[in-house]
Amino acid sequence: MNENIEMKFDESEINKESVHNQDVALVVKEDIEINDDLVTFKREYSMAKHRQCNQCDKSFSYNSELLRHLRSHSGNKPYQCTYCNKTFSRKSNLVKHKRIHTGEKPYQCSHCNKGFVQKNQLEGHLWTHIGEKPFECSYCDKAFKQNCDLLRHLRTHTEEKRFQCSHCKKTFTQNSTLKNHMKIHTGDKPYKCNQCDKDFSMKSYLQIHLRSHSGEKPYQCSQCNKAFAQNTALTNHLRTHSGEKPYQCNLCDKAFSQNIRLKNHLMTHSGEKLYQCNQCDKAFSQNIRLKNHLRTHIGNTYWGDTISMQPL
Q: Answer yes or no: is 160 within a domain.
A: no
Q: Answer yes or no: is 136 within a domain.
A: no
Q: Answer yes or no: is 100 within a domain.
A: no
Whether this model's pTM surpasses 0.75: no
Question: Residue 233: its pLDDT value, please?
Answer: 86
Residue 80 has φ and ψ, to the nearest 5°, of: -110, 135
Q: Answer yes or no: is 301 within a domain.
A: yes
Q: Answer yes or no: is 179 within a domain.
A: no
Q: Answer yes or no: is 141 within a domain.
A: no
Query: What residues make up the domain containing 292?
Result: 247-311
In angstroms, rounded to a whole number, what is the distance separating the alpha carbons of residues 72 and 66?
10
> How many independent structural domains does the chain possess?
1
Residue 2 confidence (pLDDT) above 70: no
- Contact indicator for 278, 307 with CB cutoff of 8 Å: yes
Give the C-alpha distances (Å, rounded to integers) separating 129 from 111, 114, 132, 231, 234: 8, 12, 8, 11, 12
Mean pLDDT of the chain: 76
Percent of the chain with pLDDT over 90: 1
Residue 9 confidence (pLDDT) above 80: no
pLDDT digits (tens, 9 = 90+) for 104-131: 888 888 888 788 888 878 877 787 777 6
pLDDT digits (tens, 9 = 90+) for 241-291: 888 888 888 888 888 888 888 888 888 888 777 788 888 988 887 778 888
Q: Answer yes or no: is 306 within a domain.
A: yes
Question: Residue 302: its pLDDT value, please?
Answer: 42
Question: At CA 182, angle to CA 207 and CA 124, rounded to 5?
Answer: 35
In angstroms, rounded to a whole number, what is the distance separating the alpha carbons of residues 173 and 177?
8
Top pLDDT among 200 and 48 is at 200
pLDDT digits (tens, 9 = 90+) for 253-266: 888 888 888 888 88
pLDDT digits (tens, 9 = 90+) for 151-168: 878 877 877 777 888 888
Neighbour tally for 125: CB within 10 Å: 19
Q: Answer yes or no: is 30 within a domain.
A: no
Report the CATH number at residue 273: 3.30.160.60
In angstroms, rounded to a whole number, what is the distance separating the alpha carbons of residues 241 and 220?
14
In angstroms, rounded to a whole number, what is the distance separating the alpha carbons of residues 275 and 135?
37
